[in-house]
């Protein structure tokens, strides 16, 4: 059977009517670039953010049409909104499905006599998968995740990083990677790469100027496909940069992926720690070991005087780690260089490997690896996702 082509997909989508009921969604310019991998078709339909709910039947019609093409194994179709056009009406965030949704984990693993969940399918060639998470945004989690991954790499390990933030992917910018991933023999997707890291992100598949309007099941499907349908090769560690909070993406990764552990990122102040506790609680409920807490933006060293200032307080994350009995992994200072190098796509561990900040990240990476050594590896039978 011949491979499915973009032209076939576009031709089929010309049979799907747009909101005006006269022209097709293709003729109206609503269809994004089409990406095909292993017989699965990925594309988005641009709509006004405020109309997303009403246009869900149109999305479903487009999905059905593409699935009818001979040779198509599945389709992932998202509604997106132009960020520039949606400033007055922000794109609706997906309605988070409850933990006890159609996957049946309402009481967590082994809770009070309930049945244990099925074994989680691993990723061939990947030794350990760790999540870097935070209870809220704005604490520097993605910067920490990328420098942690590069720290593990600098310590001699084979490392990849998965950007699990569907709505705000940051790895393309943090690692200065552009373009789209390639297919290998029409099947698996080849990860992007820079600085020795293998990388996968929704940011490589969807234009930066679009806002995702995906609901729970689509988030779950996208994450699992980016994890399991990518040719990661042989890795010692796969770092997963989680979105902030405790929503669909976090639950999917915690419940369906054999995470070897989680690293929680927080700032010193009480409010951030309150949110961090939510993440800790979630991982514990689904029996994912917490490898430790990183206190980011821990202190500020004035570049002109060398004086130290505890802008957000100090030591809060360390005290919290001691209180709940998890390792404290280290303090990362608030410095202009970390922010500047992150914005430039040249993380500090790469561009200033002998600097103080890079040394701190390498030390944190070493502690994380030590914690992984104490965690037994978990494996499971392969699962096929449609």
pLDDT means per 10 residues, the chain with 386 residues, are: 82 93 90 78 78 82 92 80 39 31 33 46 85 77 92 95 80 87 78 93 70 59 80 94 69 77 79 62 78 84 71 71 84 81 87 91 94 53 28
Instruction: Tell the CATH superfamily of the 126-373 domain.
Output: P-loop containing nucleotide triphosphate hydrolases (3.40.50.300)
Per-residue pLDDT tens over the stretch 40-63: 887 878 887 677 778 888 988 998
Domains 6-86 and 126-373 are alike in CATH topology: no
Please report, for the chain, the start and end positions of each structural domain, with discontinuous segments joined by +.
Answer: 6-86, 126-373
Q: How far is CA 124 from CA 47, 192, 236, in A?
A: 38, 18, 11
Residues facing 201 on adjacent strands: 163
* 6-86 fold: GMP Synthetase; Chain A, domain 3 (3.30.300)
Supply the pTM of this predicted model. 0.66
């Amino acid at each position: 059977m011949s491979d499915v082509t973009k032209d076939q997909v576009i031709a089929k989508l010309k049979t799907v009517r747009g909101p005006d009921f006269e022209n097709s969604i293709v003729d109206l310019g609503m269809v994004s670039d089409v990406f095909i991998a292993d017989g699965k078709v990925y594309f988005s339909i641009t709509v006004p953010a405020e109309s997303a709910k009403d246009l869900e039947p149109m999305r479903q019609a487009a999905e059905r049409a593409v699935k009818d093409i001979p040779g198509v194994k599945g389709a992932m179709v998202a509604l997106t909104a132009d960020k520039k056009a949606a400033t007055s009406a922000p794109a609706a965030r997906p309605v988070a499905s409850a933990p006890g949704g159609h996957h049946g984990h309402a009481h967590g693993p082994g809770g009070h006599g309930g049945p244990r969940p099925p074994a989680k399918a691993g990723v061939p060639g990947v030794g350990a998968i760790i999540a870097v998470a935070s209870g809220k945004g704005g604490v520097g989690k993605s910067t920490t995740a990328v420098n942690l991954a590069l720290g593990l790499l600098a310590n001699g390990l084979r490392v990849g990083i998965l950007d699990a933030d569907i709505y705000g992917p940051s790895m393309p910018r943090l690692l200065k990677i552009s373009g789209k991933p390639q297919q290998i023999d029409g099947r698996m997707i080849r990860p992007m790469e820079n600085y020795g890291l293998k990388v996968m992100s929704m940011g490589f598949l969807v234009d930066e100027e679009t806002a995702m309007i995906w609901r729970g099941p689509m988030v779950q499907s996208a994450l699992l496909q980016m994890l399991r349908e990518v040719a990661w090769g042989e890795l010692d560690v796969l770092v997963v940069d989680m979105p902030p909070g405790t929503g669909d993406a976090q639950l999917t990764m915690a419940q369906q992926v054999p995470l070897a552990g989680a690293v929680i990122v927080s700032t010193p102040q009480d409010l951030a720690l309150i949110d961090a506790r939510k993440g800790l609680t979630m991982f514990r409920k689904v029996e994912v070991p917490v490898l430790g807490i990183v206190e980011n933006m821990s202190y500020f060293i004035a570049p002109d005087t060398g004086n130290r200032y505890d802008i957000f307080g100090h030591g809060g994350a360390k005290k919290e780690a001691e209180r709940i009995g998890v390792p404290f992994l280290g303090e990362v200072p608030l410095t202009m260089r970390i922010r500047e190098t992150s914005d430039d796509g040249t993380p500090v561990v790469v561009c200033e490997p002998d600097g103080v900040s890079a040394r701190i990240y390498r030390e944190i990476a070493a502690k994380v690896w030590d914690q992984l050594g104490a965690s037994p590896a978990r494996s499971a039978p392969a699962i096929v996702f449609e």
